[in-house]
Amino acid sequence: MARAEPLVRRWVRPALWALVVLPAPVLVLQLLLDQLGADPIDKLERLSGEWALRFLAGSLAVTPLMRLTSWGWLVAQRRFLGLAAFFWTLGHLSIYTVLDWFFDWDEIIKDVLEHLYITLGMLAFVLMIPLALTSTKASIRRLGGARWNRLHALVYASVIAACLHFFWAVKKDVEEPILYSVGVAVLLAFRVFRRPVRRPPSGGRPADSPVAAA
């Protein structure tokens, strides 16, 4: 862990920062340079949603990666990627509300209530709100590792809703939703089929407990 520590500070975290932040200015630049095609609003909506799902899936990949590598410090990247997913989802929702519908609340409310894929997208977002709000180390300490972990299991419901949202948002060619969903399914399957955590007789915490990183 001591050897890995400098790596986190010097490389992994800056790289992740670049990864989660840079797509935004790139999209804005593409928009300004008219590189987003004939319907740039639709394109922005789709691309922002895809980035959100990538980071959400990325946050789910941390635990398996941590198990494979035994790099306990990775746990902090999990919350980082989760927050990135939350903010990209917020951006995605803002594009939907402001650019796509321009605060046409009648239509938006109807859309959320009547169209299942929008309902699921909204659900995916709403489930992420308590997770984003409790993403600080102080929250982990306040809730305690076990309760915090239980609360953050909501991410599984959120990512499933997000995948279904993606499936139904696509008219016919579901190749991309399938790719993402298979990836997410593998990451979720890891949780279902992993061997039970060996606990020392005194009753230790699971290796991926956020408290380990706190």
Partner 1 sequence: MLIRHPDDLPSSEITPEGLYQNRRAFVGTAGALALGTVLAPSAVQALSHTGGQEDKVTPEEDATSYNNFYEFGTDKEEPKELAKDFKPMPWTVTVEGLVKAPRPYAYDELLGRLPVQDRTYRMRCVEAWSMVIPWQGVQLSDIIKRVEPLPSAKFVEFTTLYDPKRMPGQRRAVLPWPYKEGLRMDEAMHPLTLFATGMYGKPLPNQNGAPLRLVTPWKYGFKGIKSIVKIRFTDRMPNTTWNDANPSEYGFYANVNPAVDHPRWSQAKERRIGEFLRRNTLPFNGYADQVASLYSGMDLRKFY
Which residues between 13 and 32 bind partner 1 (CB under 8 A)? none
Residue 5 in contact with partner 1, rule: CB under 8 A? no
12, with CB counted inside 10 A (0-12, 13-18, 19+), is middle
Residue 102 in contact with partner 1, rule: CB under 8 A? yes
Closest approach, Cβ 50 to partner 1, in A, equals 13
Q: How far is CA 40 from CA 28, 56, 59, 108, in A?
A: 11, 24, 28, 20
Which C-beta is closer to partner 1: that of 175 or that of 195? 175
Report whether 51 contacts 68 (CB < 8 A).
no
Which C-beta is closer to partner 1: that of 27 or that of 155? 27
Residue 111 in contact with partner 1, rule: CB under 8 A? yes
Binding mask 180-209 for partner 1 (x = CB under 8 A): ------------------------------
d(CA 17, CA 112) in angstroms, rounded, equals: 32
Residue 115 in contact with partner 1, rule: CB under 8 A? yes
Interface residue with partner 1, options 9, 110, 137, 150 (CB under 8 A):
110
d(CA 180, CA 213) in angstroms, rounded, equals: 28
CA angle (166, 58, 204) in 5-degree steps? 125
**Torsional sign, CA 140, 92, 168, 36:** negative
Nearest to 42 by CA among 113, 114, 95, 88: 95
Binding mask 31-60 for partner 1 (x = CB under 8 A): ------xxx-xx------------------
Which C-beta is closer to partner 1: that of 172 or that of 195? 172
Contacts of 41 (CB under 8 A, 6+ apart): 95, 99, 100
Which C-beta is closer to partner 1: that of 42 or that of 50? 42
Please report, as ranges, the residues that interact with partner 1 according to CB under 8 A.
Answer: 37-39, 41-42, 99-102, 104, 107, 110-111, 114-118, 168-169, 171-173, 175
